[in-house]
Amino acid sequence: MKIIRLCTLALVVAMSAACGSMNAISDGADSRLMLRGHDPVAYFTVGKPTKGELAIKADHAGVTYRFSSAANRDSFVKDPAKYAPQFGGFCSNGLVYAVPIKGETDNFKIIDGKLYMFGGLGSKLFFEMDQERNLKLANHYWDTEVKDADWRWQSWKRVWFSKLAHYKTNRELAAEYEKRFGKKPGA
């Protein structure tokens, strides 16, 4: 038992070396790039993921954003809270269970003027089944335990050690979706 605890501690220390709760990647000179280089403003103006230019970028909250135009960069710099993805760019449906999972740039939704990312189409559809409730839960867990935590450790903790009472697997959510809508998610 003592060996298991020591191994767990070693894993936590190793994972904490890459601390931070943002869904960022490394790309060239940008070591903490958000949205895989997609322009956050374009989600609002164009309504779809749009790659940003390497030379047009701005830093905010410890991460770098790229933009498809200087005008979009200027809009972002004036009001980053308006355009930055919620929950550090993690999947909004994962946050319903306090599990930060990487959000994908092509699965998003703008809700009340805010950008929300999802890990896949299924995650988005499951979130939308009870959007108001899920948004409240995601905000709660982001504010109370995910925002300031190392995302890897937080995911590991919630998936392996302490699942929330309302936790549902993708299989359970897909069955609920099919029962409610009479079709498989995405069909």
Is residue 14 in a domain? no
In the predicted structure, residue 85 carries a pLDDT above the cut 60: yes
Q: Is residue 4 part of a domain?
A: no
Strands 63-67 and 53-60: what pairing? Answer: antiparallel
Is residue 3 a part of any domain in this protein? no
- pLDDT tens for residues 32-52? 999 999 999 999 999 999 999
The range of the structural domain enclosing residue 35 comes to: 20-181
Give the number of domains in the chain: 1
- Report which of residues 17 and 84 the model is more confident about: 84
